[in-house]
Amino acid sequence: MLSNQIRRKIERDLVNQGMKVPSTQSRIIGFLYKESFKRDIFQKDIEEAFGIRRSSVTNVVQLMDKNGYIERVSVAEDARLKKIVLTDKGLEVQKIVGKVLEEAENSLRGVYSEEELSQLFYLLDKLSHALEE
């Protein structure tokens, strides 16, 4: 429930900024932005990072390409492989999404003291590890 409330708030804030990018696409844009500084990103990396089926990722990537947020670029070593890179439009979306996320995080952090935040993160991390087992 909390996750949905946070997602809805962020989506509302993005719409107020003029962004009508679905949350899945904005999360993928954020992933591409962060990870592409470290390595080339391929469709399989998105599948693994988000736990999404290949067919679903194919559909989202095609739509993002059509909307001009990304492009698929052939890799020199293997022309069959296409790395996924953000376009200037995708980078602009990332900039706005990053700003909205930072503002949302700051407003949510204001609800708790530093001690409470530390405890919250500890408990959430503990829960996350329990769910992975």
pLDDT at 126: 95
Is the pLDDT at 32 greater than 80, yes or no? yes
pLDDT of residue 2: 84
Q: Is the pLDDT of residue 1 over 90?
A: no
The encoded tokens of residue 9 equal 């708030």
The pLDDT value recorded for residue 127 is 93
Task: Evaluate the CA torsion angle 4, 64, 28, 48 in order and state its sign.
Answer: positive
Res. 18 pLDDT band, cuts 50 70 90: confident
Distance CA(133)–CA(113), nearest Å, equals 31
The reported pLDDT for the residue numbered 19 is 81
At 101, the pLDDT band (50, 70, 90 cuts) reads: confident
Checking 86-91 for CB contacts under 8 A at 24+ apart, the result is 86/29, 86/32, 86/33, 86/36, 90/29, 90/32, 90/64, 91/33
- CA–CA gap between residue 7 and residue 12 (Å, rounded): 9
What are the tens digits of pLDDT across the range 122-132? 999 999 999 98
Per-residue pLDDT band for 105 (boundaries 50, 70, 90) equals confident
What pLDDT does residue 54 have? 93
